[in-house]
A = this chain, B = another copy of it.
Amino acid sequence: MARAGLTADRLARIGAELADEIGFEQVTASALARRVGVKVASLYSHIANTHDLKTRIALLALEEMADRAADALAGRAGKDALIAFADVYRDYARAHPGRYAAARFPLDPRTAAASAGVRHARMTRAILRGYDLDEPEQTHAVRLLGSVFHGFVSLELAGGFSHSAPDSQESWTRTLDALDALLRTWPAP
């Protein structure tokens, strides 16, 4: 019985691939074991349980999203930064729907606090440096941006905008235009 060379990290990476192919929900210990060519029980030396596996995939996805966001933001400001950040977010979700779903997996507070999600959130806030918003309005705006990005991508992925004109890409572009205009003229409380 040749060794398969498994580690928790490798399982998370393969689990992420699997998630993109069959959906995050369907990533089971069984399916993962089949994919790597070992018996199910063998996984349990590396991961504690299914929840642990999903958490690791979630952390991996958050890491990737934060890395891409950082790349996109480098050297940009204002509307440029907003659009680059938003596009990278949406493109990631469309290219890796399973990983994107994983990134929305509920993490316990300690894990979430130590995840790359924090880095990603800080970058969302950094975008607002190009606009003139003080606290607490800045936080409200951060939350609005998060809501729009997640909401749009999630509805789009669920097929909510398909099979009807106009094209969803069009709506995305106009949504970002509108957000930029809104942030520049943010209403007083």
Contacts and interface: CB of A to CB of B under 8 A. Distances in A.
A166 B181 CA distance: 24
Interface band, chain A: 35 or more
A132 interface: no
Nearest to A147: B151
Interface stretch (A60-68, A70-78, A172-180): A172-180
Contact of A109 (B136, B163, B185): B163
B163 A152 contact: no
29 contacts: A104-B158, A109-B163, A136-B165, A136-B166, A137-B174, A139-B171, A140-B171, A140-B174, A143-B152, A143-B155, A143-B161, A143-B168, A144-B148, A144-B152, A144-B175, A146-B151, A146-B160, A147-B152, A148-B148, A149-B151, A150-B154, A151-B154, A177-B187, A177-B189, A178-B186, A178-B187, A181-B185, A181-B187, A185-B185
